[in-house]
Amino acid sequence: MVALELPGRGRRFGERLLTSLEEMAGHLFTQIRHDVSEPYALYGHSMGGRLGYLLTRRILAAGLPAPLHLFASGCAAPSAAENRGRYQLPKEEFIDMLEDMDCPPQVLANEELMEVFEPVLRADFEANDTYDYKREPPFDIPVTVWLGTQEETTREEALRWQEETMQRLVLTEFPGGHFFIFDHLIELGGILSRTLLTATSTARTGPPVRH
């Protein structure tokens, strides 16, 4: 398991925050472009799902081996992106919005933590809200999408991921809000493992012969 880090967070905390999904995807591509010779898959939650899609497009454009699978959770399809100005909300309204999205209340109520996280979150929302989707031919990569039943993203917005793949989309809904993944870690981990075991087995032996 390899966690990719964007500038301005984690070990890259002192670096300039990015406010463009395309630029973010470029940074992620630089991190992995020399490590995609082995079978691999991509997973992203929320904005990470859209970054996984853009990263896949960059990988294919560079002629590198495609991921065996793309997983996205809590994320509307790229074509369902809406230009909104959430990153420009006054502080109080911005925090109220985060609270509605089930962000941890202990973080939102901590002024010192919010001084650190608010600029990062605003940069992420700006990247999401200003994303300019460009339609491209669907890729031949299976896509699995997970969605919380009580989150803002609708089932219809999630189903539009089908526009990006020639293979049949797998969409599964779980009880919970935007961060439903933390309540279903064991189940989601099992799905990931089974899906990737099947994918790697197929990659080694080829698809079954149909008579």
Which domains are present in the chain? 40-80+135-203 (3.40.50.1820), 82-130 (no CATH)
Say if residue 38's pLDDT is above 80: yes
pTM equals 0.90
DSSP tag of 179: T
What's the whole-number mean pLDDT along residues 67-84?
92
Q: At what angle do helices 47-61 and 21-32 cross, to 10 degrees?
A: 60
| Residue 52 CA, distance from chain mean position | 5
Q: Residue 46: which region, alpha, beta or left (left: phi > 0; alpha: psi -120 to 50)? A: left
Exposure on the CB side of residue 112, measured as CA atoms within 13 A: 0
CB neighbours of residue 167 within 10 Å: 13
**Percentage of the chain with pLDDT > 90?**
73
Say if residue 106's pLDDT is above 90: no
CA-CA distance, 86 to 125, in Å (whole number)?
6
Say if residue 203's pLDDT is above 90: no
DSSP tag of 72: E
Say if residue 206's pLDDT is above 70: no
Say if residue 115's pLDDT is above 80: yes
Per-residue model confidence (pLDDT) at position 208: 44
Q: At what angle do helices 111-129 and 91-100 cross, to 10 degrees?
A: 80
Say if residue 13's pLDDT is above 70: yes
Of 184, 196, 205, residue with least CA distance to 70: 196
CA-CA distance, 176 to 124, in Å (whole number)?
22
Arithmetic mean of pLDDT over the chain: 91
Say if residue 18's pLDDT is above 90: yes
Amino acid 134 reads K
Q: How sure is the predictor about 26, in pLDDT bands with cuts at 50, 70 and 90?
A: very high
CA-CA distance, 88 to 84, in Å (whole number)?
9
